[in-house]
Amino acid sequence: MEFAGSHILSVDQFERPDVERIFEVADRMEPYAHRRRITRVLEGAILGSMFFEPSTRTRVSFGSAFNLLGGEVRETTGFEQSAIAKGESLYDTARVLSGYSDVIAMRHPTPGSVAEFAGASRVPVINGGDGSNEHPSQALLDLYTIRSELATRGRSIEQLRIAMVGDLRFGRTVHSLSKLLALFPGVQVVLISPRELRMPEGIVEHLRASGHSVLESEELESSIAHVDIVYSTRIQEERFQSQEEADLYRGRFRLNQSIYTANCEPNTVIMHPLPRDSRDNARELDDDLNDNPNLAIFRQADNGVLVRMALFTLVLDVVDQVDREARDVNWYTARRF
């Protein structure tokens, strides 16, 4: 695809070379994101950050990524008292607000609304999540993390063996990640979930049709023995009829250090889209994993900044200018990546 001026709405819009291009640019963002160098390539540019549904980590990650490129951020959060509440159409909102920025990152609870907004916007729009539908930068940072973690183990994405665990029915992240994985044939996928929360059949078929081996399981311990990555997810309790129904599944596939040691190969990577539940009997990933160097969940969150910097520089067409006039950081940086 041609990135300059494009909206980023869905993982479906990417071919394999597009994903590889994003990752290559994300790699080049590393000295800036990790605070060894400073670039001002987007000085004077404005990001319109519109989070019509709250999401602290995604909102701040987009905003920081834009700041790290030298740009400014104008934020809008919530919309109970906005013009939309006075009966304004999404079309009008998009026409007006796109006049105030150079690129927009948007989250909205209604599936399809970000694409509808993008249709009327006069500047590129990046989908930061539209309900149960899409969240492409999350899928990209997940796959980018898989690629990075595998690389330190001397492997590539095509050699990946991955277990996805938990609520595979409602979990938007595992759906989108599967679609991206389908672009890299040869992956071995293990899908571990309660019977009622299995991965939708269409996605399983898509993975198989793309040349992947797919195994489904209802049992955690026996199924994580021969994988490079365990990708754990939380129960999407807001998608269930009742709290009680959600509680049936919560904490069902709980990974802790002793289960890890007893079952996994050494150096098996643990991922999670976060937030992970920390309440008793509801934890997917136990706190005793926090000292395990293979727990990659915070590196995964960090990678979101790299991927979002890559998306911004691609749609605004400044990739080749990032390194010009860059300089070293002059303040104390405690950052440990």
Q: Which sequence positions are flagged as catalytic?
A: 57-58, 86, 107, 135
Q: How far is the CB of 226 from a copy of itself (least distance, A)?
A: 28
Q: Which of 145, 104, 116, 110 is nearest to 130 (CA)?
A: 110
Looking at the Cβ atoms of 30 and 277, the one nearer to a copy of itself is 277
Q: How far is the CB of 309 from a copy of itself (least distance, A)?
A: 12
Looking at the Cβ atoms of 210 and 294, the one nearer to a copy of itself is 294
Looking at the Cβ atoms of 194 and 251, the one nearer to a copy of itself is 251
Token duo for residue 104: 């927009």
239 sits in the region (left: phi over 0; alpha: psi -120 to 50; else beta) called alpha
> What's the CA gap between 30 and 21, in Å, rounded?
15
Considering just the CA atoms, what is the radius of gyration of the chain in Å? 20
> What's the CA gap between 289 and 55, in Å, rounded?
25
Looking at the Cβ atoms of 258 and 333, the one nearer to a copy of itself is 333
Q: How far is the CB of 82 from a copy of itself (least distance, A)?
A: 5
Q: How far is the CB of 66 from a copy of itself (least distance, A)?
A: 9
The string of DSSP codes covering 202-263 is HHHHHHHHTT-EEEEES-SGGGSTT-SEEEE----GGGSS-HHHHHHHTTTT-B-HHHHHHH
